[in-house]
Amino acid sequence: MASTGGGRSLSAFALRALPRTRFSGEDEGMKTPFAAEDPRPHLLDLQPAELRQWLSQVGQPSFRCTQILSWVMQRRVASFADMSDLPKKLREQLEAHFRLWTTSLAAHQKSEDGTEKLLLQLADGGRIECVLLREEGRRSICVSSQVGCAMGCVFCASGLDGVLRNLTTGEIIEQMLLLARQLEPQERLSHIVVMGMGEPLANIDALLPALEMASRADGLGISPRRITISTVGLPPAMRKLTERNTRYRLAVSLHAPNDELRSELVPVNRSIGLQAILAEADAYFAASGRQLTFEYVLLADINDRAEHAHQLANLLVRREALLNVIPYNPVAGLPYRTPSAANQRTFREILESRGVRVKFRHRKGDAIDAACGQLRRSNRTGVGGP
């Protein structure tokens, strides 16, 4: 289901190290850089404390951790060999024990509105998407958390084939770094949204260390209030966010104003129910103080009627929340349609008249399959991705 700081201080060296592809709708024969059976973990799967522990085991002082992270997170070098202020022996040890970049670029699309979408091939052949969005003063990136998705939302391309696996912490951070590389020198990454392929809270244990790294001053320096986790609503994981005192924004995808319809559109709802989700969302708001966002994909003749708007207002009117309504972006092979302009207007007017704070958001990058999962489906090559 999509931050400032971290000025992009890309050196000419780093730019040279990771060549840019401006547009490619097709595979360009780029090889996966590491064999699937490569046993070395992604360096960024380690949290800083774990990296310091490893450094201590190989007889290195802990300040090397800061140097290494700076090379990866700020300068985004291509290889351990490029970390020129580290002793040669340590660079060789790093190379022997860890992988640095584990994805290859399968496709890169750029829309006229400035939206860029990367289709990345993982070391095991799975494919994921991530997006850079340019809007007025914002430069937002949207990253994936899983290969595919198990939630089964009926209107979504990402969930059509189920879930293959969770992404690792390193794979999530790598998407952020690759998207940040697409920014021009005068642009600054400002927001991160975990709204790509997958249900983020189904992979919370890998996700939270990735977001921690994104928000560290020596990581990407994005304030937690500019990082949004988007979820269909998994109460136990939502409770974990509350208990861990995280300060990220939470966006809950409702898509329907009652359990009967929601269980049709978001099948995982059958075993959960709206009230349990809203109770956990309220608890998160109470603990974090972060205003909640609710998402609602508006589908013609399915959830766009006046009665739905009134039911939605009943759910939200007493909550400190923003409702994002997203008129559906059709997906090839799926029967759902965009609601008419008149229906959109009526839906909005009812919500506003009931005192709900509502924003209509139109997907950017329509010309490049920007809705989640579409690029992956239109670039199947039989290399192992679902």
372 catalytically annotated: yes
Site for ligand SF4 in 1-20 (CB under 6 A): 1
Give the footprint of ligand SF4 on residues 157-216 (CB under 6 A): 158-159, 197-199
Count interface residues toward ligand SF4 (CB under 6 A): 13
SS3 content of the chain, % helix, strand, coil (to 5): 35, 20, 45
Binding letters toward ligand SF4, positions 118-157, x by CB under 6 A: -------------------------------x-xxx--x-
Q: Are 286 and 267 in contact (CB under 8 A)?
A: no
The DSSP output letter for 382 is: S
Closer residue to ligand SF4 (CB): 200 or 219? 200
Sequence-separated (6 or more) residues with CB below 8 Å from residue 333: 160, 377
Cβ contact 36:124 at 8 Å: yes
CB 321 within 8 A of CB 294: yes
Residue 154 near residue 269, CB atoms below 8 Å: no
User: In the bound complex, what is the minimum distance in angstroms from residue 152's beta carbon to ligand SF4?
Assistant: 6
Neighbour order of strands in the sheet with 249-253: 104-110, 116-121, 127-135, 138-142, 191-194, 227-231, 249-253, 292-298, 321-327, 358-360
Query: Apex CA 376: angle with CA 374 and CA 382, to 5°?
Result: 140
Q: Which of residues 227-256 bind ligand SF4 (CB under 6 A)?
A: 232
> CB-wise, 152 or 273, nearer to ligand SF4?
152
CB 233 within 8 A of CB 270: no
CB of 201 to ligand SF4, least distance (A): 10
Among 69, 73, 372, 375, binds ligand SF4 (CB under 6 A): 372
Q: How far is the CB of 197 from ligand SF4 (least distance, A)?
A: 6
Active site residue 129: yes
Q: Considering the rule CB under 6 A, would residue 375 count as an interface residue with ligand SF4?
A: no
**CA distance readout (Å), 337 to 6, 14, 185, 241, 329:** 39, 44, 39, 35, 7
Contact string (CB under 6 A) for ligand SF4, positions 36-55, x = contact? --------------------
Q: How far is the CB of 275 from ligand SF4 (least distance, A)?
A: 19
* Catalytically annotated residue among 65, 130, 142, 372: 372
Which residues have a catalytic role annotated? 129, 372
Q: Which residues bind ligand SF4 (CB under 6 A)?
A: 1, 149, 151-153, 156, 158-159, 197-199, 232, 372
